[in-house]
Amino acid sequence: MLSATYREVNRSVCRATSSSRSDSVWAGLWGWGSGRPTSFIGRPQRVPSQGHSARPPPTRSHTDARRASLPDGGATMPWNRTGARSRASGSGPSGRAESRRATAYAKGVVMVEVLTGINVVELAGALQGPAAAGYLRDMGAEVIKVEPPEGDASRYHRGVNNFTPPGTLGAQFIHANKGKRTITVDANSDDGRAVIHKLVAGADVFLTNFRESSLERMGYGYEELRAIKPDLIYAAGNGFGPVGPDAEKGMVDGAGMARGGLMHMTGPRDGAPMLPGAVLADMAGAMQLALGVVTALLGRELHGIAQKVNNSSYGAQIWLQAWEIQQAAMTGNPLKRDGAHHPNLPGMYGIYATADGEALFLAFHMTEESWQSFCNFAGMPEIGTDERWNAVTKRMGMGGDAEGKMAAQIRPYMTRAIASKTMAEWLEFLESEPEIIYNRVCDHQDVLDDPQALENGYIQEVDVDMIGSTKVVGPTITLSETPGSIKGSPPQLGQHTEEILLELGYDWDDIVRINDHSRQMLRQKFIALGMEPPF
């Protein structure tokens, strides 16, 4: 349980970052957290002289019940190792997986998910690493998130032009950290290093997005952790890739899109490049890092090979544009941005304004009947029979119109046609034409309320600590027999520190020492930011 002191610190930090100085506070916390992972706050409540063994076990949810004890060098590991034998004892990959499943069933787990029995240690910040671990958690893995004393900086980012309510967790943090357990220790200290090494000894995956040189300096390099846990999957995401002159270069999402060409492809044809309105490089990096982890886990189970997984936000957003980049490689002519249209899809494919100022996306009319129907409804029947566009191949710039010049000439007609009617009129017509691919351009509130998103579980409503009921993005991959699920609220800062340290075999004197060190580090951070420490 969270101590009273710890709850007060949570409230104090949130109040501080909700003040008029929230931008500078958030920036300071971000710099502290990303530059040097550190520790925990809060003094645990002492137990009388019987020692920690007399303390009743912490209250756990049904998902926490999957964890069991495993002796390891005299420590008790906070993982459900599901009775798995080591490879040295002669058990094969399929035997270990079967043992995990059997033990999970025996412990009364309501539903075994595809990653049940997989245990992840996350030493990461911001979005790329935490979101990757968040996906693994949704699919059933147990994730312990290691945080510095002030927490992952994304806890406090309330937005810029659209502030979240004061005193609440940041939206980015909520998305990436639902259902995880968290421990706050100073990763640079001897105590913190020992804690993390003990966690790794019982883990399947170590996941990070910190710089390799920093990890090696702190004692969390691949070879060092591999020596502790030979079958460990070590997953490391970074900005620009694991090798090359910029392997250690810092990254934020926009830098990946700028370098990878995505910004160059976004914006008006005759104007400046524009920044897309989503963190595409980081989220693509998270997606591919998670994919790399499950691929490596499968390889370990099938072939007995444990290995390091590397990916980058830069590489992931290059992958997002593989078609366009391949086109440039084959033609020697890089594509040019084309405003509301895709630069490699000529003709009508694009976004158009309706009479009431809304935006309508139109792709292709897949049959000639639908094209004639569209032109008649739009009040331009002559265009429906015009020989320049009387076949879908002509309207797409195929066939004899290799450069798409003839197809592009249809756009002014399309612009005038769409502008002649309201969105409601167009939707009523288009809903009766299944061979026309279209969609109203939606904002995020539309997505939150979309019955299609709700029905598929892409948007779900959950209770989040300090907020209450709110909608969140759920798993967007559906498995028929072992579907993923949201495992609950993101953790409060340091919420499970005492619980995890006890599971690792630490006594209360050890815990007090670790926490006092972390409290001092947090005091120093508050003072450095020009703020009054809350304790």
pLDDT digits (tens, 9 = 90+) for 11-56: 444 444 444 333 333 333 433 333 333 333 333 333 333 333 333 3
pLDDT at 158: 87
Q: Which residue, among 3, 6, 23, 43, has the nearest Cα to 150 in the 3D structure?
A: 6
Any idea which residue has 């990890």 for tokens?
A: 215
Q: Which residue, among 125, 134, 160, 139, has the nearest Cα to 38 in the 3D structure?
A: 125
What mean pLDDT comes out for the span 338-342? 90
Question: Average pLDDT of the chain?
Answer: 82
For a pLDDT cut of 70, what percent of the chain falls above it? Answer: 78
Report how far Cα 520 is from the mean position of its chain's Cα atoms: 31
What mean pLDDT comes out for the span 239-268? 92
d(CA 492, CA 515): 16
d(CA 170, CA 174): 6
pLDDT at 459: 98
Structure tokens given for 497: 């520190």
Beta-sheet pairing, 142-147 with 233-238? unpaired
pLDDT band at 244 (very low <50, low <70, confident <90, very high): very high
Dump pLDDT digits (tens) for 201-224.
999 999 999 999 999 999 999 999
Domain 4-320+463-528 = CATH 3.40.50.10540: yes
**C-beta separation of 252 from 306 below 8 A:** no
Which pTM does this prediction carry? Answer: 0.81
Reply yes or no on whether the pLDDT at 327 is more than 80: yes
d(CA 321, CA 262): 8
Residue 165 is classified by DSSP as: P
Dump pLDDT digits (tens) for 270-289.
999 999 999 999 999 999 99
pLDDT at 108: 52
The length of the chain, given as a count of residues: 535
d(CA 109, CA 43): 33
The domain segmentation of the chain, as residue ranges, is 4-320+463-528, 359-440
Reply yes or no on whether the pLDDT at 358 is more than 50: yes
d(CA 189, CA 260): 38
pLDDT band at 402 (very low <50, low <70, confident <90, very high): low
Dump pLDDT digits (tens) for 441-471.
999 999 999 999 999 999 999 999 888 999 9
What mean pLDDT comes out for the span 107-114? 69
Please enumerate, as own/partner, the contacts of 219-225 that have beta carbons within 8 Å and a separation of 24 or more. 219/193, 220/123, 220/187, 220/196, 222/308, 225/197, 225/200
Phi and psi (nearest 5°) for 174? -60, -45
d(CA 136, CA 410): 47
Stretch among 96-105, 112-121, 182-191, 251-260 having the lowest mean pLDDT: 96-105
Reply yes or no on whether the pLDDT at 96 is more than 80: no
26: Cα within 13 Å, side-chain hemisphere: 20
Reply yes or no on whether the pLDDT at 376 is more than 50: yes
For a pLDDT cut of 90, what percent of the chain falls above it? Answer: 64
Structure tokens given for 528: 């450095």
pLDDT at 366: 76
Q: Considering only residues 503 and 526, tell me which one the structure prediction assigns the higher pLDDT.
A: 503
Reply yes or no on whether the pLDDT at 229 is more than 90: yes
Residue 68 is classified by DSSP as: B
**C-beta separation of 410 from 448 below 8 A:** no
Structure tokens given for 235: 């997953």
Phi and psi (nearest 5°) for 75? -105, 160
pLDDT band at 62 (very low <50, low <70, confident <90, very high): very low
What mean pLDDT comes out for the span 497-506? 98
What mean pLDDT comes out for the span 309-317? 96
What mean pLDDT comes out for the span 46-69? 34
pLDDT at 348: 87
What mean pLDDT comes out for the span 291-308? 98
Residue 461, strand partner residues: 471
Reply yes or no on whether the pLDDT at 71 is more than 60: no
What mean pLDDT comes out for the span 57-73? 32
Q: Considering only residues 37 and 9, tell me which one the structure prediction assigns the higher pLDDT.
A: 9
Dump pLDDT digits (tens) for 406-421.
778 889 999 999 999 9
Reply yes or no on whether the pLDDT at 424 is more than 90: yes
pLDDT band at 346 (very low <50, low <70, confident <90, very high): confident
Structure tokens given for 172: 């980015």
Dump pLDDT digits (tens) for 73-87.
223 334 433 333 233
